[in-house]
Structure 1
Amino acid sequence: MKKSLYLLTLALVSFSLAGCNENKKESKSSEADTNLLTSTSSTTEAAHQDVRLKFNNIKVATVANEFKGGTSLADLKELFGEPSTHEQSPAGDVTLDLYTWQFDSVTVSVHLFEDSTIARAISNFAFNRKTRIDKSLYNTAEEGISFRKAIEILGEPDDFSEANSTDTESLQAIWVSGTKSEENVMANVTLTFEKDALVNKTQSGLID
């Protein structure tokens, strides 16, 4: 591939935790507390949970396939309907198409290169699930683990972004629901991965 596609900074697909506190509720059932949430059968289904689960179906292309084979705009429309906004942005010496879908406070953002998804993000979503993520559990997520292993430990993240470039593959995941904190405190956990290895983690408000 002659053209270089530089890394999309996470700021382009950054998260906003504003509003997540309203969605943070404890579940009366443990179903939404499973390692991989793949259906919407929970009686404590969160607002726009269907959008969050459909988001898992977006395929992000990599440099190994010259950024081909990512989810197309037509397939994105099948998942989410017509986009709310569309704009173009430069990335190195190429131009990307940025589409967003708005579902109340929940936002889905996707960058496409030549009709192939190379970056995706979902923000301001929170599952309804049983509180289980405390500081001790957070500490078991050690540097170098894969994203899949992080899901096995903490469960499916509420929000995350993923961006691929000619240099690396980056993913940032955020957990806001199911976290253990003091009353009236919104705790959260953020994990950052490079090439499917945990390179940085932070938490705010967690207690044991």
Structure 2
Amino acid sequence: MKKGFYLVTLSLLLISLTACSNKNKETTSPSSDTELLTSSSKTEHEDVRLNFNKIVLAQAANEFKGGTTLEELKAMYGEPTSQSQTPAGDVTLDSYTWNFDSVVVTVQLFENSSIARSISNFIFSRKATIDQKRYDKLENGMTFKQAIEILGEPDDFSQAVSSDKVELQAMWVSGFKSESNSDQSRSASITLSFENDALTQKSQTGLNK
């Protein structure tokens, strides 16, 4: 599998994540700390987000086989809202999108095996507990799981697999102690980038100390 296969896939999904997540978001009512919320909470479209965690991406070691199939995706989300094909190197990827109001789920498959996934515009309802002190605990090299233990589950994220990398970008947009949550232009967010499950880059806006 050529490296270009990876680059096209990930760039498309991360562009989608950034564009969608920069839209204005409504403030949600607090109902949980940084733990992943249960089905008893009032987060809108939480079932969509929880099912997203179940999507398995194929691995290069298995020749990109074994990822979640289209049939399994339809069992989770129903018929896709739209679909298209994307050239990637010397192969073609099948891209499927599901819309749930403003929440967008996109999955790309190679030979009916998921190799990239993205969810955007989802917002967890949780207490405002994320602040600058928690952000400062994030260090390069830590795993995605370790980041979740500090911040809780991300609201949005994208992930893609290639012959030599697994890259993930995650965004937190809820649960912040920010200086002005009412001012959408100054609302808080954290974005983390991982390569092969190691944190490589972090950024934040609007956090309280």
Higher share of residues assigned helix: 2
Aligned-partner Cα distance in 2 for 1:20–1:49: 19
1:11 equivalent to 2:11? Answer yes
Aligned-partner Cα distance in 2 for 1:133–1:20: 20
Gaps of 5+ in 2: none
1:115 equivalent to 2:112? Answer yes
In the superposition, the TM-score normalised over structure 1's length comes to 0.91
Match of 2:28 in 1: 25
Q: Deviations over 1:96-142 (max 9, x none)?
A: 00000001110000000000000000001110100011111101011
Q: Deviations over 1:154-190 (max 9, x none)?
A: 0000000000011210011100000121122311000
| CA-CA distance at 1:20 after TM superposition | 5.1
Match of 1:125 in 2: 122
Gaps of 5+ in 1: none
RMSD: 1.4
Match of 1:148 in 2: 145
> SS of 2:12's equivalent?
coil
Aligned-partner Cα distance in 2 for 1:189–1:84: 29
Aligned-partner Cα distance in 1 for 2:85–2:71: 17
Match of 2:83 in 1: 86
Aligned-partner Cα distance in 2 for 1:53–1:19: 22
| CA-CA distance at 1:18 after TM superposition | 3.7
1:7 counterpart letter in structure 2: Y
Corresponding residue pairs, total = 199
1:195 equivalent to 2:196? Answer yes
The structure-2 alpha-carbon separation of the partners of 1:8 and 1:101, relative to structure 1 and needing over 3 Å to count, comes to farther
Aligned-partner Cα distance in 2 for 1:20–1:122: 16
| CA-CA distance at 1:47 after TM superposition | 1.4
| CA-CA distance at 1:46 after TM superposition | 1.7
